[in-house]
Amino acid sequence: MAQKSTAKDVFSYLLMIIVLTISVVSFGALLWQMINYSFPDPLEYYYNGLYEIMRTSISSLIIAVPVFIGLSWSIGKDLKKHAAKADLWIRKWLLYLVLFVTSIAIIVDLISLVNLFLGGELTMRFVLKVLVVLVMAGGVFGYYLWELRRDVSKKSKVPRTSALVGSVAVLIAIVASFFIIGTPGEQRDIRMDQQRVQDLESIQWELISYWQDKGELPADLGELTNELRGYTVHTDPVTAEAYSYTVAGDLAFTLCATFDTSSDETNLTQSRRLGYGEDGYENWAHEMGEHCFDRTIDPDIYGDDGVMKEMF
């Protein structure tokens, strides 16, 4: 008599495929961002999304991988007791779906490699990413092809060995990633510094708006407070103390803040603005501790006839 699928079988296999997908995608995303960090491309504009992607991937792996291993162990244990379940339609359909998806991933990956090679864009970073996809997709494809063909009534060390190798690889990647993104405490310091930079940028534009309206810079930041517009000058997110502001001339001013970290290439330290820095960039790079930013308003850009006037 043919074995029928139970609600538990359907639930177990569906959930296993879902957490497998989450695990593979998250592991691949984590490795790709580590490659991006190790081999930066000067043609790309970097921002802090690298950290966000890595944090999301780590969080997903910490939850999904143990769930996947636990489900796989439970399903394997059930198959040993009921060998006839190896022919369940839900099992075969979902395992073939895994083979189909991994096959597509390998084909698309190889097409992309050839396409970029012909375009002269073959770099070490791209080659490493292709290898990551090929190794992961090949590993998943090979394992589940074996799973479909194996005799579940016979004992095998392959599932345990695969789970051990996969877990060790994920653990090594997670540990290595902390050397890039830092500890949770360090990440909080980075986010606080990002907030400080955003505050200073907001204050800077309010200062420019004030100058455009009144023809002079305010003596202190308190003059920027505008109850009608509901604007209150930002303060440090941790200490709640006011940011330092100094008038350095008719068109020049200095803004200072105390930072917890030192910015680097992966931090958002430049904004695409007109009027400051080289090539239309404002530089917000900073060192740990107190750091000041000197700004000079260009009246040709921000004057009465300037195009930026329309933004306010």
Minimum mean pLDDT range among 27-31, 57-61, 79-83, 267-271: 267-271
According to the model, what pLDDT value does residue 2 have? 52
Q: For 184-202, what is each residue's pLDDT tens digit?
A: 888 888 889 989 999 999 9
Of 141, 145, 139, 134, the closest CA to residue 163 belongs to 139
Confidence at 259, pLDDT banded by 50, 70, 90: very high
**Quick check: 204 pLDDT over 80?**
yes
Average pLDDT over residues 77-89: 79
Q: What is the DSSP string of 236-294?
A: -TTT-PBPEEEE-SSSEEEEEEEESS---TTS--EEE-SSSSGGGEEE----SEEEEEE
- 130 contacts 109 by C-beta, under 8 angstroms: yes
Minimum mean pLDDT range among 35-39, 87-91, 251-255: 87-91
Q: Rounded to two decimals, what is the model's pTM?
A: 0.71
Of 48 and 29, the one with more pLDDT: 29
Q: For 112-161, what is each residue's pLDDT tens digit?
A: 777 867 776 667 877 888 888 888 888 888 888 888 888 777 888 888 89
According to the model, what pLDDT value does residue 247 have? 93
Confidence at 281, pLDDT banded by 50, 70, 90: very low
- 176 contacts 33 by C-beta, under 8 angstroms: no
Rounded-to-integer distance, Cα 303 and Cα 306, Å: 5
Report the side by side order of strands in the sheet with 252-259.
Answer: 244-247, 252-259, 289-296
Confidence at 78, pLDDT banded by 50, 70, 90: confident
DSSP run (H or E) holding 296 = strand 289-296
Average pLDDT over residues 274-291: 65
Minimum mean pLDDT range among 45-49, 107-111, 275-279: 275-279
According to the model, what pLDDT value does residue 101 have? 81
